[in-house]
Amino acid sequence: QVQLVESGGGLVQAGDSLRLSCAASGLTFSTYAMDWFRQAPGKERVFVARISSSGNYTGYANSVKGRFTISRDNAKNTVYLHMNTLKPEDTAVYYCGAQSSYYSDPTYWGQGTQVTVSS
């Protein structure tokens, strides 16, 4: 079955950087677009970033544009989220998702990794 396993979360200070990873198995990774979403306490899960199956196309939420970068390594079946200049409002559980179309919502989800940014 499909498994998405996030890692790399933790407690950091405002202004720090962090890299999240999501390792995928059970699917042909190179044919799936990949997403990062996040969910803050008491709020809905919201879109953060997306990357096409080839890695040629990316998209970002306005709140993270210019600070976060999504990338992927199809040889390692892994997608990354590079987060720079972190702010307390970036505190959330971060989830990766996979979908067969770049323009659809994720079909598969990981279990999430906690990112906490202190001021």
Strand order through the sheet with 18-25: 3-7, 18-25, 78-83, 68-73
The string of DSSP letters for 12-69 reads EETT--EEEEEEEESS-GGGSEEEEEEE-TTS-EEEEEEE-SSSS-EEE-TTTTTTEE
For 22, half-sphere exposure in the C-beta direction (CA atoms, 13 angstrom radius) is 29
What pLDDT, on the 0 to 100 scale, is given for residue 24?
98
In single-letter form, the type of residue at position 97 comes to G
What pLDDT, on the 0 to 100 scale, is given for residue 20?
98
Torsional sign, CA 73, 113, 68, 119: negative
Task: Give the alpha-carbon dihedral of 17, 5, 60, 87, to 10 degrees.
Answer: -30
Q: What is the pLDDT along the chain (119 residues), one digit of tens a residue?
A: 999 999 999 999 999 999 999 999 999 999 999 999 999 999 999 999 999 999 999 999 999 999 999 999 999 999 999 999 999 999 999 999 999 988 999 999 999 999 999 99
What pLDDT, on the 0 to 100 scale, is given for residue 8?
98
